[in-house]
Structure 1
């Protein structure tokens, strides 16, 4: 089976497609923005990458969400739930983690099925 890479770079590809599944790299927002702005930016990027792969959020299989501060959980969830809307919710895990940069507040990783 062929492997397709979207926006490949030296360190990583933003998405990898294989065997009817698209795997997105961890997405982050603009450093220094507040949690709400970072989450909204990440979800917009996820929508864009999923569209480039030929799928959308209704086909999400799994999401992993890393928060720099777990106290941002409720804010992130409100934005996430608005974004998911009527789409089926994926399997999801959320945890607090020390992210690679102090001004990143959240990182989201998703996996989705292709159409």
Structure 2
């Protein structure tokens, strides 16, 4: 089975699909607050899911990386508006505090696994 890649560069792909499993790389975004970054990166996730022919109702699992757990509730406010709860499709997830992300300006990164 061939692996399908989305937005591939020499270093990485933003998403990879094998069969009906779609794995997105950790998504980050600019913004001054965790709320701004979360709103923007979740839009990026929506865009990648759409390019792969699926949507957020098919997200199976998410890893959420925060540089400060004090941002957990602010992130959850954005997340709760984004997930497909009206369709009964709230994914499993983990929230993990990390020392830092690849850029010191990033405060949140989200990686998802979805059904394609």
Question: Which deviates more from structure 2 when the two are superposed, residues 98-107 or residues 58-67?
Answer: 98-107
The alignment's C-alpha RMSD in Å is: 1.0
SS in 2 for 1:28: coil
In 2: Cα distance, 1:101 partner to 1:58 partner: 30
1:55 Cα offset (Å): 0.3
TM-score normalised by the chain length of structure 2: 0.94
In 2: Cα distance, 1:60 partner to 1:104 partner: 23
SS in 2 for 1:80: helix
Deviations 1:28-78 (A, max 9, x none): 011x52111100000000000000000000001100000011100000001
Paired residues, what number? 113
- 2:95 matched residue in structure 1: 94
- 2:63 matched residue in structure 1: 64
Q: Name segments (4+ residues, structure 1) moved above 4 Å.
A: none
Gaps of 5+ in 1: none
In 2: Cα distance, 1:7 partner to 1:101 partner: 20
Gaps of 5+ in 2: none
- 1:11 matched residue in structure 2: 11
Deviations 1:67-108 (A, max 9, x none): 011100000001000111424111100011021121101000
SS in 1 for 2:14: strand
1:2 Cα offset (Å): 1.2
Alignment of 1:21-40 (within 5 A): 21-30=21-30, 33-40=32-39
In 1: Cα distance, 2:71 partner to 2:94 partner: 15
